[in-house]
């Protein structure tokens, strides 16, 4: 399967299912012959994990085989990618690829695999915006107010992320560059732990995925903006 790099990165912008490049003979065999695994580069509770479990349930019903979700968080989804690449190339192991995987393709020069060359995309699954959320202890209700507050308190705000090289970090770093503010980056091992850190006040701001919406509706977090060009109906 040949896919231009730009289009593949576009598909990876949300979440996509992928598998190791398969030899032709493997594709002709009966499939699936045993349970299927979906490797997820995030811990339970985040949007990637929720997406994988929803897709896994649907696949199990359609394929007639159990679909097992295997969480391998850490290293910006690289640990999941490496575990995935060690699996046999028979289509029984899938990777829930995310934008973190495409970011890592340019971030890590000495990765043990080439994300563009070694992995074949199967289907785009979902795209969702990030939400800029703050702990309610921060006295800001708009982005301009937050920028002014951060500039008045340089280096005193902690910005959480779901890990180095993830979209939440990249969005946060871009925001810092565009506004000229100084915040301390605190990486976590996934979106769910980062949300826990934000709820607990260990970090004050996070570019979170849409799974944070329930905390926003409950008043436990305050949303300031979404990263899309238009407003999100969910937010």
Q: What is the CATH number of domain 131-226?
A: 3.40.190.10
Given this model, what pLDDT does residue 11 score? 38
CA distance 172 to 38: 29
Q: Is the peptide bond before 199 cis (omega within 30 degrees of 0)?
A: no
Percent of the chain at pLDDT above 70?
Answer: 87
When the candidates are 3.40.50.300, 1.10.10.60, 3.40.190.150, 3.40.50.720, the CATH number that belongs to 5-126 is 3.40.190.150
pLDDT(91) > 80: yes
Per-residue pLDDT tens digits for 111-157: 778 887 888 888 888 887 899 999 999 999 999 999 999 999 999 99
| Topology match between the domains 5-126 and 131-226 | yes
pLDDT(79) > 90: no
Tell how far CA 93 is from the center of its chain. Answer: 19
Burial of 231 (0-12, 13-18, 19+ CB in 10 A): exposed
Per-residue pLDDT tens digits for 33-53: 999 999 998 888 878 888 999
- Helix H or strand E encompassing 58: helix 47-63
For the chain, domain boundaries: 5-126, 131-226
Per-residue pLDDT tens digits for 186-207: 999 888 899 999 999 999 999 9
Region 206-224: mean pLDDT is 92
Given this model, what pLDDT does residue 14 score? 53
Candidate from 6-10, 161-165, 228-232 with smallest mean pLDDT: 6-10
């Amino acid at each position: 399967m040949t896919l231009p790099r730009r289009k593949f990165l576009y598909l990876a912008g949300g979440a996509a299912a992928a598998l190791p490049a398969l030899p032709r003979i493997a594709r002709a065999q009966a499939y699936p012959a045993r349970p299927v695994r979906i490797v997820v580069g995030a811990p339970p509770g985040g949007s990637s994990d929720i997406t994988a479990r929803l897709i896994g349930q649907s696949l199990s019903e359609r394929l007639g085989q159990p679909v097992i979700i295997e969480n391998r968080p850490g290293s910006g989804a690289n640990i999941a990618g490496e575990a995935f690449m060690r699996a046999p190339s028979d289509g029984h192991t899938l990777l829930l690829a995310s934008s973190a995987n495409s970011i890592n393709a340019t971030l890590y020069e000495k990765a043990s695999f080439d994300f563009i060359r070694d992995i074949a995309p199967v289907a785009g699954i979902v795209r969702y915006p990030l939400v800029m959320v703050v702990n309610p202890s921060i006295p800001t209700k708009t982005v301009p107010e937050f920028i002014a507050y951060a500039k008045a308190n340089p280096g005193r705000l902690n910005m959480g992320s779901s890990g180095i090289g993830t979209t939440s970090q990249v969005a946060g770093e871009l925001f810092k560059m565009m506004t000229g503010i100084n915040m301390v980056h605190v990486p976590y091992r996934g979106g769910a732990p980062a949300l826990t850190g934000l709820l607990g006040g260990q970090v004050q701001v996070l570019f979170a995925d849409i799974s944070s919406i329930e905390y926003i509706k409950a008043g436990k977090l305050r949303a300031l903006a979404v990263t899309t060009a238009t407003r999100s109906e969910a937010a």
